[in-house]
Structure 1
């Protein structure tokens, strides 16, 4: 089956950033950040830690991988012939932009806020980078498939939720870290779609059939670039 041709920006309304799109992510970020100003919210974090310590299941490293599952699903579905909103080049520009924005928010925030992790391993707890990545990829899947298959478009969120929950269960994050991280992830993807027409213009001089791309990524130890090549 031939691959869907890369889309073009033919309807600017698809990429407008309205205040409605910002309500959820801004609310989540605010709910997480408010814990530093309102003691009862921090007490809620401590209560959650106590409950987790009492009923914690066995630790798992799956959350290191599930954060990426929705993005992998988007590319896999397109390869299988279940097309999303954008072709390879355009969706990759959007995805790469969202990850770059997320890293640009999360990395300095961790250093500036310097909140200690529940396990005491370091002071880079807020916000959760894993949650930011997980919800940015889940929201990326939602935006790519919501117009074609709403149920399919929502299927990335369970992986994002699993990632966030297990960051708490693994004693790596406070609950409010995960809530704020989820907001950062969703916001990053919304900003990426808004910026897409501008990014596409910058990159439009490159070959349309080029299937290689450098993608920024965020990990707990820093940011980096990965090279993706599709044959």
Structure 2
């Protein structure tokens, strides 16, 4: 999926509530760094801090308390990732229910569901590649077409999920795949909000070049997703 980027956290201001980005065994190298770079730039210039078992800041209810948002980046298999994160399930649910923001990219979108995951979404994610009339049929690194806010766009993709809205109010679809399934959405959970995306709007140039794909500039969609989850 992603190649390793500069392992140092982006420069931070220390003046605002931090944005926490998970980095550890439930993510792949390069994925946390790409999410952190998106959050540290954009229109917000967030105070980004990594959390995880080998970071200075562990993932705990105490570290989540007061965070502007928590971001779960892309990674490997869902079951393996959840084994590393299961003990944080109630802390994550309590954080979002109490007004926090959860941002999930690809694997982070799967983990926002309940099969297994943090159970933050009104419906449950599933593999886009297994959905009827999917335009991608295997787990290779590729490009997928979506309609983002009704406009045709292309994004980096590697076995990402699609999402269902369930019957909960307050769900806002940002993007759909060509077969009509949901590629990105935000939804309320208690007093907080969850934003998830199946493809990778945060992908950096090296993600594309490392697997022989043409470079796409898609961070504007990442900005839109973050703005929607912060709204």
Which range, TM-score by smaller chain? under 0.3
For CA contacts below 8 A with separation 6 or more, give which structure has more relative contact order. 1
TM-score of the two chains, using structure 1 as the length reference: 0.25
Per residue, is there more strand in 1 or in 2? Answer: 2
- Greater C-alpha Rg: 1
TM-score of the two chains, using structure 2 as the length reference: 0.25
